[in-house]
C-alpha cells in the first residue's frame, strides 16, 4: 500500500531532529528545576518553542505548520519526552488532538481560521472527560442546544490538560438526548476559550508532571456560533474524539519511550558512578539484569510505536494497534522507572535525586488517553470482531 502521508522531507526532518536533540539537552533539561520549582514552563522557553514551530509540526504547511506525518510527529514526541513531561504536554494537544481533529474533519473555513492560530502557538485544550464520564466518554452530560444561528453550551469538563492557559478549545457535547444511531448524540465544537460563560477552575494538584496543568472547564450558557460545529455536521463528535484519541494514544506511547530512555540513561550513569564493595555497582550482574530488561522493554515499545505510526501514515485503521502500543509502552515505562529507583537504592526514594520524580511522572501514562484496562478491552473487542468477520486476525 502506498504511503498516503509522506510528511516532511526526510533530510529536513533529520536536521530538525538534530536541532531538537541539542535543544532538549542544552536548554530544556537544564531548565527542569525551574519548571518544578514554579510549576510552570518559563515564558521565554515557551516563546522559543513557538519560534521552533513545535506547536504546529503536524499542521499542513499552507496553514503555517511543518506538515509532519504521524511517524515524524511521534518521533518528535519521543525526543521531547526525554526532558520534563510538561514540555510535551504543552504542545501535544495542539499538534495531536485539537489540531488533528480540525485538520481531518474541519470545514475549509474552520481550517483557515483556526489552524494558523494553533500552529503559531496559541495553546489549545481538548474537552472530552467529565466528572461522570471518564472511560465511558459516550455518557457525557455537557449539552449543546440550538440557539438562533448558534448553540448554547452547558456542562463541566474535568482533568482538561492546558485549560488554564488555553485560548482554543475543542469541546464535545450532546446535541441530542438519544445515542441512536450509536453515539450520534455527540458533536464537536471549536470554542474560543475567552467566550463569556466559560470558567476555568484552579489547576489541580497532582502526583507528578510539574508544569503541566489540568483543571475543570465550566460552561454556563456559553453562546457559540453555528460555525463552531466541527465539519458543519452534528453527530460526528464521538468519531472525531476517537480518531483524535488514536493520535493521543500514540503520543503517550512515544512519551513512554522517551521518558523510559531518560530513566534508563540516568540509571546507567548512576550505576557507573556508585560504588559498593570496592567497585561500581554496574559490575554487579543483578544490576545488569535490570538494565537489560529495561532496554528490552524500551526496544519492544519503540518497535510497536514505529509499526503503528507507519500503518497510520499508510491510511490504515490503527485503533487496535494504537491501543496495544499505548498499553505496552506505558506499562513498560512504569517498569523501567521502577527499576531506576531500585538501581538508585535508598537514594532513589529521595527527592534530591531524579529517580523518584521519574517514578511519579510516569504513573499517569497508564491512566490518561485511556487506562490500561480500557486499552485491554479495546484490543479484545477488535480481536473478537475481526475474528468473527474474517475467521482470523492475522
pLDDT in tens, 97-122: 899 999 999 999 999 999 999 999 99
C-alpha to C-alpha distance for 38 and 30, rounded to whole angstroms: 14
Q: What percent of the chain has pLDDT over 90?
A: 87
Indicate the pTM of the whole model.
0.92
pLDDT over 90 at 68, yes or no: yes
Which of 95-104, 270-279, 384-393 holds the top average pLDDT? 270-279
pLDDT per position as a tens digit, 248-269:
899 999 999 999 999 999 999 9
Residues noted as catalytic = 369
Mean pLDDT of the chain: 94
Domains recognised in the chain with CATH numbers: 10-122 (1.10.540.10), 126-233 (2.40.110.10), 239-390 (1.20.140.10)
Residue 1 pLDDT grade (very low, low, confident, very high; cuts 50, 70, 90): very low
Three-state SS for 276?
strand
CA distances from 266 to 201, 260, 347, 355 (A): 36, 10, 13, 8
CA distance 44 to 52: 12
Secondary structure class of 126 (helix, strand, coil) = strand
Confidence of residue 179 (pLDDT cuts 50, 70, 90): low
Chain segment 205-225, per-residue pLDDT in tens: 999 999 999 999 999 999 999
SS3 for 140-206 is CCCEEEEECCEEEEEEEEEEEECHHHCCEEEEEEECCCCCCCCCCCEEEEEEECCCCCEEECCCCCC
68: nearest Cα among 81, 51, 55: 55
Amino acid at each position: 500500500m502506498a504511503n498516503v502521508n509522506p510528511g516532511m522531507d526526510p533530510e529536513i526532518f533529520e536536521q530538525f531532529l538534530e536541532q531538537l536533540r541539542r535543544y532538549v539537552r542544552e536548554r530544556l533539561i537544564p531548565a527542569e528545576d525551574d519548571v518544578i520549582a514554579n510549576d510552570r514552563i518559563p515564558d521565554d522557553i515557551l516563546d522559543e518553542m513557538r519560534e521552533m514551530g513545535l506547536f504546529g509540526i503536524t499542521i499542513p504547511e499552507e496553514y503555517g505548520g511543518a506538515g509532519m506525518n504521524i511517524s515524524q510527529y511521534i518521533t518528535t514526541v519521543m525526543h521531547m519526552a526525554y526532558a520534563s513531561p510538561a514540555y510535551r504536554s504543552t504542545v501535544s494537544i495542539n499538534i495531536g488532538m485539537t489540531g488533528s481533529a480540525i485538520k481531518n474533519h474541519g470545514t475549509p473555513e474552520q481550517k483557515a481560521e483556526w489552524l494558523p492560530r494553533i500552529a503559531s502557538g496559541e495553546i489549545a485544550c481538548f474537552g472530552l472527560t467529565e466528572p461522570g464520564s471518564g472511560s465511558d466518554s459516550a455518557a457525557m452530560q455537557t449539552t449543546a442546544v440550538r440557539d438562533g444561528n448558534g448553540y448554547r453550551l452547558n456542562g463541566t469538563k474535568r482533568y482538561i490538560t492546558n485549560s488554564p492557559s488555553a485560548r482554543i478549545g475543542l469541546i464535545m457535547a450532546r446535541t441530542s438526548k438519544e445515542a441512536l444511531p450509536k453515539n450520534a448524540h455527540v458533536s464537536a465544537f471549536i470554542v474560543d476559550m475567552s467566550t463569556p460563560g466559560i470558567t476555568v477552575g484552579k489547576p489541580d494538584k497532582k502526583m507528578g508532571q510539574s508544569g503541566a496543568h489540568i483543571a475543570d472547564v465550566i460552561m454556563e450558557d456559553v453562546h457559540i456560533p453555528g460555525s463552531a460545529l466541527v465539519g458543519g455536521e452534528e453527530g460526528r463528535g464521538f468519531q472525531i474524539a476517537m480518531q483524535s484519541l488514536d493520535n493521543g494514544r500514540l503520543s503517550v506511547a512515544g512519551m513512554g519511550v522517551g521518558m523510559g530512555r531518560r530513566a534508563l540513561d540516568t540509571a546507567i550513569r548512576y550505576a557507573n558512578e556508585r560504588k559498593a564493595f570496592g567497585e561500581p555497582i554496574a559490575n554487579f550482574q543483578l544490576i545488569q539484569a535490570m538494565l537489560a530488561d529495561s532496554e528490552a522493554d524500551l526496544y519492544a515499545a519503540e518497535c510497536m510505536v514505529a509499526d503503528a505510526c507507519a500503518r497510520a501514515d499508510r491510511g490504515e485503521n490503527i485503533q487496535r494497534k494504537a491501543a496495544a502500543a499505548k498499553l505496552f509502552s506505558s506499562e513498560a515505562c512504569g517498569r523501567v522507572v521502577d527499576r531506576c529507583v531500585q538501581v538508585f537504592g535508598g537514594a532513589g526514594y529521595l527527592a534530591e535525586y531524579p529517580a523518584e520524580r521519574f517514578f511519579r511522572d510516569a504513573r499517569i501514562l497508564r491512566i490518561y488517553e485511556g487506562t490500561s484496562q480500557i486499552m485491554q478491552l479495546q484490543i479484545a473487542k477488535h480481536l473478537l470482531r475481526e475474528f468473527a468477520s474474517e475467521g482470523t486476525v492475522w
